[in-house]
Chain A
Amino acid sequence: MPLSLIRARMPPKPIASYAMALFFVLVAALGILAAFVFHDIDRLREQIAQYDEKLARQELDEAIALLARQAESTARALTQWDEARQQLENPAYYAYWRNARALNAGVLPERLDAVDLYGLDGHNLSVTTSGEASMPSHIDTRRKQSYLMHERGHDHLYFFFPFYADSAQSHRIGYAGIKLDFQAAFNQLRKFRYLDLSSVRVAAKDGERIPLPEIVSSLRFRTTANPEMHALEKLIARSFYEIAFIIGAISLIGYLALQSVVTKPLRRLSGHIESMRRGQGALLGESYRGMLAVAELENIRQSLNDYQQQLDDMHVSLAHKNQELWSLAHRDPLTGIFNRRAFEDDWSAVRRTQGDSLIGMAFLLFDCDHFKAINDTYGHQVGDQVIQGLAESLYGALRTGERLYRLGGDEFATVLFSASLERARQVAERCIEQVLRHDFPAYGVKEPVRVSVGIAYLEEAGDDALKLLHRQADMAMYHAKRPGQCKIAIFSPDMGEGQSALVSNAGISAVYEAMAAPDRLEMHYQPVLALPGSYIEYYEALVRIRGEHGLIMPASIFPVVELRGLEAEFDLAVLERVKSDLEAGRIPAGAGVSLNVSGPGIVNARVIDKLMQYVPLLSAYKLVLEVTETALITQIAQASSNLNRLRKEGFVIALDDFGSGYSSLRYLSSMPVDLVKFDISMVRSLEETGRQAVLVEDLARMIKDAGYSLVAEGIETEALLQRVTALGFSHAQGFHIGRPAALMTVASVSRVAG
């Protein structure tokens, strides 16, 4: 298996494990060394045993030789003994000598078992040769006989030698034989160094004679325990155990030292690094082992501390950067207040943290009225200043801690927690007042800058309700923006009926589909009565969209159109639809049609071109273009140019919704307007008594006097019709005169009217 594979498969281990492994490897090495040492000791013991056996055998040889020499010495003593010589010369009393004298006279060694003399013919001088002390009755005189004999459980050595009469050994007079116990003879010898004397046994059968030279080979013996070897073994073993103990102790001390000096500091470092990884690290204190500190570990510790310090510094820097980044991400760079992203984060947090526990939450949505016109009129720089002014005003109206968000463009929002609806209203009114108080003219804006406030209030919150709150505020805000409405609108469920298409996918789809296929637009025409006569002079074309669930009304259409900047496109679709109605003759000839064109549309070349396509129809129909003053504010020069061009072609220009917006007489006077349509809110004020009615009356007269024709919207009663008629309005429009209706109804109405 490749080393790399092993390395790859082996997970990292703590250093203590390696230290322990090293310790065990050392122990194993010691064990192997011990095995070798004791194996060598065994070999040495075996060699020494062999050597001892050899020496023991030499000792046996020497012992046998010594016994032989002793026997020869005994023989010499015997042959020099006068009494022995006497027996050979006169054996008459040999028995007495053999039994009483031979072994007791002190001439021969006492260890001899028996002594016998033999004549020259080899016959024993004894008459009887039986018994324990018996000797052979006859010996072979032709050869020297000495042997070992195992008999009756005992081993006896027999030595035989010639007996000479003289010291010169010139005159043999017989033979002598001695018998001695082999074991006893051995025992009386000197102590054996290598031979275990008690173990010596003769391997011979009973009665078998073993010649002297062959005795050693027939002996079985053991060697004595070698004290030197035993001492050497003990010394080696003790030395080994001492060395092993020392090595073991050193290893253990090394292991403990490693644990103390390296492992624990490393573990501490590792733990510290791990803590750092978890973000819980702090600077390591002084070295772990004091005087036994390891330089490398100290360097690591110091480096780690430096690194940690740098990390901490970097962390602080990053925190600041993050704060800045968060601020950049969550603050609107123009106004400095929270932006849409902050709003979304906070809103998500509210939904996540408040949940069902939310009580009394108000969502206030602010939108600047006609900001686009202001922006287009005065430029973006002024527009930005207006936005800043709005933010400043709104923020000033809020309490500390209440956040103001710029959701985009001129749309702001704030959320009030634990607030009553009344307080929400008060905040909204305070915001409006703050905006009104702001010095916008200082930016060069001549028109009043106002905001509309949509309020959605939630008594007890649920997650589903929270989801709807923003949309509800949005609906309320658009409701507040509607002409004639108070600038503060609190969402009510009925707002959703008309504006549900504003945000519903179905409504949006219907708008887009209608633009793609103008035939889907269903135009309703509301008659406009000429005063003081009583004929329908023209019809205001009011667009509807046939949806899956019925007609979609303008209140639901135009927020979508405006929100998505589809004014020009939608205008084109409507113009196309009305044009087709005109061209198809669905509108009674001689009658007129009033066309609503949006602010962006009036400055749109395609829209203008489309209107120019109406020019051929001018001969048969009176065509009125209704534009709002808001439309006029936007690119007023282009708008004026286009309107002039259309006016020249024969279009009648009407200023729509006069009185709902700025109602700037400057615009009125500078624009090519033929008709001024008083907003329904102004017309209805005529039904009341008060300053506003007077003001409307005076305004009507003044505009009339200036040469404009006046159209009154919202005529729903005969009295009001009479009133406006009396005031000099040239045209009147409203339910009292006729509701917007489809072409068939229009045709019939026209006929009736005609």
Chain B
Amino acid sequence: MSRIPTLLQIVWMGLLISLFPHAGQAGVIEARLPTGKVATADFHAGNDGLPAVLILHGFLQTRTFPTIASTYEALSTAGYTVVAPTLSLGISRRNKSLSCEAAHLHSLEDDTEEVAFWVRWLEQKRHQSIVLVGHSFGNVQLLSYLRRSPSPAVTQAILISLVDVEAKQGPQARDRLAQALRDRIIHGNNALLGAEFGNCRKYVSPPAALLSYLNVSRNSILDALARSPVPVEVIMGGKDDRMGADWVEKLVARGIKVRVIPGASHFFDDQYEFDLQEAVLRALSRRPPGR
């Protein structure tokens, strides 16, 4: 799978998007990815002068996840142009969260490519300032995108509940798994395997696909944050139990701006969604000037 969209694909994508009558206003949009898969996203055209915001859901989730959906609504209401894609995870028109036991053929690179695709899509919409907003593992994918050569239009990254990939599995376990996967790959064994990964007790995936995610570590995240070309602000829930106890401190220690909303969980549910919305809007209001 090529990670670089060809010119033809871009042209075709533009044609496809132009077919949607509401593409310039609000609604669900579909877009054929360079992989041939058809991806979908919620899109709201905001006011001019305000940056476009790309909101990315967590791992195996969709844009309909409440944290995403509420943030999307809040930003739309605030006049921002918002696009909230659902990563295809290798499935056209995926519209539901993918089960851990499903055959996960997608890789982190595929996810990063789709983020890049939607950034380009916004650029195609002539948005000069794009703010990336991610939730949970989506932040890993956004950081993966930012580690590449992100679009110059990307001006800010707001990472909600930035995941600590080593919170569930320690680095040793992850390393053993990664090594096993590499062994399989070396032996040409691409058969699916089920392994404990993230919040999945049995994550079924070919070795290579899973291995792509295992390449992300706590340090790589911190490093990505440190090297981010755009300002990054992290919004964390005060009662996010999916993080390591020292995760926020480590972020702060790396000079990352972290805003912790006391009492909020990983998903900022209940009344904390408004705190989240307020925090996001506040972060957006501190938007730095374009790069």
Interface residues of A (CB under 8 A from B): 80-83, 85-86, 89-90, 92-93, 96-97, 100-101, 104-105, 165-166
Contacts and interface: CB of A to CB of B under 8 A. Distances in A.
A93 B192 contact: yes
B92 A105 contact: no
A93 B105 contact: yes
B37 interface: yes
A90 B93 contact: no
Interface in B125-154: none
A80 B96 CA distance: 9
Nearest to B205: A93
Nearest to A81: B96
| Residue of B38, B96, B98, B103 most packed against chain A (CB within 10 A) | B103
Contact of A105 (B37, B91, B101, B105): B101
Contact of A86 (B38, B90, B101, B206): B90
Interface string B57-101: 000000000000000000000000000000000111111101101
| Residue of A86, A89, A90, A166 most packed against chain B (CB within 10 A) | A86
A97 B95 contact: no
B180 interface: no
B103 A97 contact: yes
B192 A86 contact: no
B32 to A, nearest CB: 11
A96 B206 CA distance: 12
B188 to A, nearest CB: 14
B91 A166 contact: no
B204 interface: yes
A80 B94 CA distance: 9
B101 A101 contact: yes
A165 B93 CA distance: 8
B102 interface: yes
B102 A83 contact: yes
Contacts of A85: 91-94
A101 B103 contact: yes
A82 B37 contact: no
B92 A165 contact: yes
13 contacts: A82-B98, A82-B102, A83-B102, A85-B91, A85-B93, A86-B102, A89-B37, A93-B103, A93-B206, A97-B103, A101-B101, A101-B102, A104-B101
Contact of A89 (B91, B101, B102): B91
Interface in B98-112: 98-99, 101-103, 105
Interface in B172-224: 192, 204, 206
Contacts of B91: 82-83, 85-86, 89
Contacts of A80: 95
A616 B37 CA distance: 201
Nearest to B106: A86
Contacts of A97: 102-103
B92 A92 contact: no
B101 A100 contact: yes
B204 A82 contact: no
B92 A83 contact: no
Nearest to A83: B102
B105 A92 contact: yes
Nearest to B190: A92
Nearest to B98: A82
Contacts of B90: 86, 89-90
B218 to A, nearest CB: 30
B38 A165 contact: yes
| Residue of A82, A97, A101 most packed against chain B (CB within 10 A) | A82
A81 B91 CA distance: 10
A90 B88 CA distance: 13
Query: What 5 pairs across the A-B complex have the smallest Cβ distances?
Result: A86-B91, A93-B103, A82-B94, A82-B91, A83-B102
A92 B205 CA distance: 12
Nearest to B105: A90
B192 A82 contact: no
A598 B99 CA distance: 178
Nearest to A165: B92
Given A90-B105, A93-B192, A166-B93, A83 B99 contact: yes
B76 to A, nearest CB: 24
Contacts of A86: 90-91, 102-103, 105
Contacts of B103: 83, 86, 93, 96-97, 101
B96 A82 contact: yes
A82 B99 CA distance: 10
B204 A96 contact: yes
Contacts of B99: 83, 101, 105
A104 B101 CA distance: 10
Contacts of A82: 91, 93-96, 98, 102
Contacts of B96: 81-82
A105 B99 CA distance: 8
Given A82-B98, A83-B98, A89-B90, 9 more contacts: A85-B93, A85-B94, A86-B103, A93-B103, A93-B206, A96-B103, A101-B103, A105-B99, A165-B92
B201 to A, nearest CB: 15
A86 B102 CA distance: 10
A96 B101 CA distance: 10
A63 B207 CA distance: 47
A81 B37 CA distance: 15
Nearest to A97: B103
A78 to B, nearest CB: 13
B257 to A, nearest CB: 36
B232 to A, nearest CB: 31
Contacts of A96: 103, 192, 204
A90 B206 CA distance: 13
| Residue of A81, A90, A104 most packed against chain B (CB within 10 A) | A90
B94 to A, nearest CB: 5
A601 B101 CA distance: 177
B206 to A, nearest CB: 8
A97 B101 CA distance: 9
Contacts of A100: 101
Contacts of A93: 103, 105, 192, 206
